[in-house]
Amino acid sequence: MQLYDSTIPQFKKVLQNLERWIDKAEAYAAAKKFDPEVLLTARLAPDQFPFVRQVQIACDKAKFTAASLTGKEAPKHPDTEKTFAELRKRLHSVITYLDGFTPKDFERADERVLEPPVLQGKAILGRDYLWELQLPNLYFHVTTAYAILRHNGVDLGKADFIGPVKAVER
């Protein structure tokens, strides 16, 4: 399987799911009559990042993974979002960036030798970078964002996490 199929469509789906969770968070806050922006600073544990940072990192994982695997430059985001509207803007920016990739961009990406800073001078092949580092990292931050909202009462379930599925008629 080409790495394009394991990255771009899935990254876009995950980011679109995050936006739907934001919709539900705002609706929940409106129903309970509290400022939805308080959820941006909610966290599961004192030593974990708040919701806003989890979303920022998820966006970064998606864009930097695609960029690293293809040798392209990722857009810069200064991590200054303080509202759900600003988070949506970032999500849309990254999704638009991801829309610019084609399967051709990922030719030989599985064999690309990368030196991510986290490996402190060691190298890793593109396929291992994706499967061992970036996908687990992306899903860690997405899952944490989901758990923060769920912990705070937002009505989310497994179907919200998985999102739309491309089922075929039989």
Residue 59: CATH number of its domain: 1.20.120.450
Q: Is residue 84 part of a domain?
A: yes
The answer on pLDDT for 2 being more than 60 is yes
Q: Is residue 169 part of a domain?
A: no
Average pLDDT for residues 36-47, to the nearest whole number?
Answer: 96
Q: Is residue 102 part of a domain?
A: yes
pTM, to two decimals? 0.95
Tokens in use for 89?
């803007």
Q: Is residue 167 part of a domain?
A: no
Q: How many domains does the chain have?
A: 1
Q: Report pLDDT digits (tens) over 81-99.
A: 999 999 999 999 999 999 9
Q: Is residue 170 part of a domain?
A: no
Q: Report pLDDT digits (tens) over 122-149.
A: 999 999 999 999 999 999 999 999 999 9
The answer on pLDDT for 168 being more than 60 is yes
